[in-house]
């Protein structure tokens, strides 16, 4: 069916990285040195190659000075594994996280912050590398532990629900993904604010899950609301705004609203051309979507003309 093909395009929904802070026991070492803080800031800013280099140096220094089993060394190893995963060394990253997780579980307990941080990093890596079913299992365990410790209304619980929703959606479990996104939304709105980027991200991904579940009217409403807020906050040419246009075009194409969908897709493609390099997957997919929507729109118009020859003559 024509409506389904738009959901086979490269997923441009936004992926939420683990937003957690390393827990520190009373007996743990003092606050990280400035170099550790700088490496962490690079990781949080998405400068993964730079973060990887700094964490590799930090871990080597940790092992030499305080040993590979020291709490600080273990925490730095988790961060290094995350950087490895983000720079293409997924196998190496997974092996490291799977080695570290039982160490944290044994030493800290399964519900300790450090353990959950490591487990969430593993789940996120699995989701990033096309293994969402495995990620779902890890996220469920993290969610259960956080709900038990913090209650359903804590922001950390909302964040894990969002990540679980992403993995469920990627697994084809759209109905449960919608449920998780909807449960996360009021928590994120209350704790972070309705216009916080994370809150809008959850709402955008809810819209995409609704579209995959073929609830097109609800999906369009969510994404149009998100687009309006992002445009007001960021301006019409921000990359996040353009990606929202692209996702909205996908949903509306699936709903056979070809003309309006083509307008959003064209806007996304034109904007991407200004901010992305030639050959970027987002730009390639936007161009492809424009071609497909234009072809479908032409076929739909031709079909209308055939069904109503009189209307065709008037045109």
Structure tokens at 230: 């992002």
Domain 216-302 listed as CATH 1.25.40.10: yes
Distance between CA atoms of 157 and 72, rounded to whole angstroms?
25
DSSP three-state, residue 238: coil
Residue 183 near residue 206, CB atoms below 8 Å: no
Q: How confident is the model at residue 313, as a pLDDT?
A: 43
Domain boundaries, the chain: 216-302
Q: How far is CA 275 from CA 283, 285, 286, in A?
A: 10, 15, 13
pLDDT band for 36, please (50, 70, 90 cuts). confident
Q: How confident is the model at residue 11, as a pLDDT?
A: 34
Distance between CA atoms of 253 and 257, rounded to whole angstroms?
6
DSSP three-state, residue 32: coil
Instruction: Looking at 173-215, list the stretches that DSSP marks H as alpha helix, in order from N- to C-terminal side.
Output: 174-192, 197-212
Q: How far is CA 63 from CA 14, 232, 313, in A?
A: 36, 49, 81
Q: What is the pLDDT of residues 258-277, one digit of tens each?
A: 999 999 999 999 999 999 99
Instruction: Please compute Rg for the chain using Cα positions.
Output: 22
Q: How confident is the model at residue 242, as a pLDDT?
A: 97
Of the CA atoms within 13 Å of residue 113, those in its CB half-sphere come to 11
Q: What is the pLDDT of residues 204-224, one digit of tens each?
A: 999 999 999 999 999 999 999
Name the least confident of 22-26, 56-60, 92-96, 218-222.
22-26
Residue 282 near residue 276, CB atoms below 8 Å: yes
Instruction: Looking at 45-89, list the stretches that DSSP marks H as alpha helix, in order from N- to C-terminal side.
Output: 48-66, 71-86
Q: How confident is the model at residue 306, as a pLDDT?
A: 65
Name the least confident of 60-64, 92-96, 172-176, 297-301.
297-301
Residue whose tokens read 């092992």? 63
Name the least confident of 11-20, 44-53, 207-216.
11-20
Q: How confident is the model at residue 303, as a pLDDT?
A: 76
């Amino acid at each position: 069916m024509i409506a389904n093909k738009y959901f086979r395009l490269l997923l441009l929904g936004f992926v939420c990285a683990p937003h957690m802070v390393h827990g520190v026991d009373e007996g743990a070492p003092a606050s990280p040195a400035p170099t550790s803080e700088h490496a962490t800031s690079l990781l949080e800013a998405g400068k993964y190659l730079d973060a990887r280099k700094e964490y590799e140096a930090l871990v080597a220094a940790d092992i030499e000075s305080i040993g590979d089993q020291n709490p600080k060394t273990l925490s730095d190893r988790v961060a290094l594994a995350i950087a490895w995963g983000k720079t293409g060394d997924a196998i190496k990253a997974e092996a490291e996280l799977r080695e570290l997780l039982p160490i944290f579980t044994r030493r800290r307990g399964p519900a300790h912050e450090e353990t959950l941080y490591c487990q969430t990093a593993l789940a996120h890596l699995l989701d990033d590398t096309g293994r969402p079913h495995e990620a779902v299992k890890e996220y469920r365990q993290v969610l259960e532990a956080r709900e038990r410790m913090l209650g359903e209304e804590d922001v950390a619980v909302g964040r894990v629900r969002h990540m679980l929703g992403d993995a469920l959606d990627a697994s084809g479990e759209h109905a449960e993904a919608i449920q998780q996104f909807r449960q996360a939304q009021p928590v994120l709105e209350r704790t972070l604010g309705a216009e916080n980027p994370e809150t809008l991200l959850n709402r955008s991904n809810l819209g995409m899950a609704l579209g995959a579940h073929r609830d097109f009217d609800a999906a369009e409403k969510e994404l149009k609301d998100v687009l309006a807020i992002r445009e007001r906050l960021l301006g019409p040419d921000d990359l996040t705004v353009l990606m929202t246009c692209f996702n909205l075009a996908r949903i509306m194409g699936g709903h056979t609203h070809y003309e309006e969908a083509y307008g959003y897709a064209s806007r996304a493609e034109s904007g991407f051309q200004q901010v992305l390099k030639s050959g970027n997957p987002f730009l390639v997919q936007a161009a492809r979507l424009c071609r497909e929507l234009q072809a479908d729109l032409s076929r739909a118009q031709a079909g209308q003309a055939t069904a109503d020859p009189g209307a065709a003559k008037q045109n």
